[in-house]
Amino acid sequence: MARTAVKIAISLPKVRVEHLRAIQTRERKSLSAVVDQALADWLKRREHAEMEQQYREYYATEASHKTHRRLAREMAAAAAWPED
């Protein structure tokens, strides 16, 4: 049977470990579950921030504005109301 988890060793400041243990106790979860959730949340925020940065960079160029306007016009023309 394949393992779905991998055991690793990390070093953290004592104060951070104490904070993790407090969350572990309060939420009645394993330390691994608390760390996994924290890491998943951090990775999601990081991915979102990277996507926002790419979005800003794309729309910061004049060429992208022209392309966007052209595509918007094409989409509007394709969705024009039929005449009665």
Domain spans, the chain:
14-78
How much is the average pLDDT of 4-9? 90
Q: Quick one: DSSP state of residue 82?
A: P
Distance in angstroms (rounded) separating the CA atoms of residues 39 and 66: 39
| Whole-number Cα distances in Å, 2 to 5, 19, 82 | 9, 32, 59
pTM (global) more than 0.75: no
Residue 15 pLDDT class (50, 70, 90 cuts): very high
Distance in angstroms (rounded) separating the CA atoms of residues 19 and 34: 11
| Whole-number Cα distances in Å, 37 to 10, 27, 40, 44, 77 | 16, 12, 5, 10, 47
Hey, what amino acid is at 69? R
